[in-house]
Chains A and B, each alone.
Chain A
């Protein structure tokens, strides 16, 4: 059963990543290209307008924006789908009487908020030319710390909601859990250090567009994962009920 769920999760994740790739290609790539153009301009200005000798590119821009982007988004989507399926395997039948499709949709919403939205608000994605290579280590650590704290807040909120639901009802329990989640996340975001390495001359509009493209990619990925996975496993889990009733 878990094996079938895992495989379906990876398939759903891959299919979701195809949609996300389409969006990334059409909406995201133009912003990346503009940011790289800005980066080259800055480098030329710094070297005093010299024709700086073309460094041999390890991977061409075409590959980066094509098969490279496809691979990156595809592998990410497939892996997120796999993890999603494993969490689903635990959550299914343990969140009240929610059925497969509703469980999947709810999980995708929570996953998007905790895994994508909360880190996005504290450490938003940056296009090329933004960010000092010297701080990549600390920025990466902070980014994953934020994800970890966000997931911990989600776990605490869910645990609380379950405990309270029996006593004060699902609605009130959910409200309290939501407030607790928000409080933990806000506290974490307030305590974690700020990162601002945007060059002074970098276009605000370009930065906004890049970040909105990145936001859209995550939203599309999670939304379609939640819907696709639910549809893919519904039959499987219903058959299992049938088998259980017969035996």
Chain B
């Protein structure tokens, strides 16, 4: 018997079935992309709200994260 097998039995990583993953992937990524949109784009190239408040508020973050700001 090998010492290594008793100390650290090798476990094969088991993947998550796509069926279980899909609903989370769809709704989760939509939510995350909306968040990124508000930090990166809102009131710059496109706007949901008709003000400049969001743009001005995240202004420095937008520049430093590399999004085109204005």
Q: Contact at A72–B16, with CB atoms within 8 Å?
A: no
Q: A65-B60, A73-B61 are in contact. List 9 more A-B contacts (CB 8 A).
A: A24-B64, A59-B57, A78-B35, A79-B39, A82-B31, A93-B13, A141-B45, A213-B64, A217-B64
Query: Does A133 sit at the interface, judged by CB under 8 A?
Result: yes
Question: Chain A's nearest CB lies how many Å from the CB of B8?
Answer: 11
Which residues of A are in contact with B by a Cβ distance under 8 Å? 1-3, 6, 24, 28-29, 32, 57-59, 63-65, 68-69, 71-73, 75-76, 78-80, 82-83, 85-86, 89-90, 92-94, 97-100, 103, 116, 119-120, 123-128, 131, 133, 136-137, 139-141, 143, 210, 213-214, 217-218, 237-238, 240-241, 244
Q: Contact at A136–B57, with CB atoms within 8 Å?
A: no
Question: B13: nearest residue on chain A (CB-CB)?
Answer: A93
| CB pairs A–B below 8 angstroms (28 shown) | A6-B28, A24-B61, A28-B60, A28-B64, A29-B60, A32-B64, A58-B53, A64-B57, A68-B60, A68-B61, A71-B58, A71-B61, A72-B62, A72-B65, A73-B61, A75-B58, A76-B36, A76-B39, A79-B35, A83-B33, A90-B16, A93-B14, A125-B65, A126-B69, A139-B45, A141-B45, A237-B13, A241-B14
Q: Contact at A123–B68, with CB atoms within 8 Å?
A: yes
Which residues of B are in contact with A by a Cβ distance under 8 Å? 10-16, 18, 20-21, 24-25, 28-29, 31-33, 35-36, 38-41, 44-46, 51-53, 56-70
Cross-interface CB contact of B63 among A57, A97, A125, A237, cutoff 8 Å = A125
Q: Contact at B39–A75, with CB atoms within 8 Å?
A: yes
Question: A78: nearest residue on chain B (CB-CB)?
Answer: B35
The binding surface of chain A is classed by DSSP as helix
Given known A78-B35, A98-B13, A244-B14, contact A64–B64 (CB-CB < 8 A): no
Q: Contact at A90–B18, with CB atoms within 8 Å?
A: yes
Which residues of chain B come closer than 8 Å to A98, judged between CB atoms?
13
Which residues of chain A come closer than 8 Å to B33, judged between CB atoms?
79, 83
Question: Chain A's nearest CB lies how many Å from the CB of B57?
Answer: 5
Q: Contact at B36–A59, with CB atoms within 8 Å?
A: no
Which residues of chain A come closer than 8 Å to B62, judged between CB atoms?
72
Q: Contact at A79–B36, with CB atoms within 8 Å?
A: yes
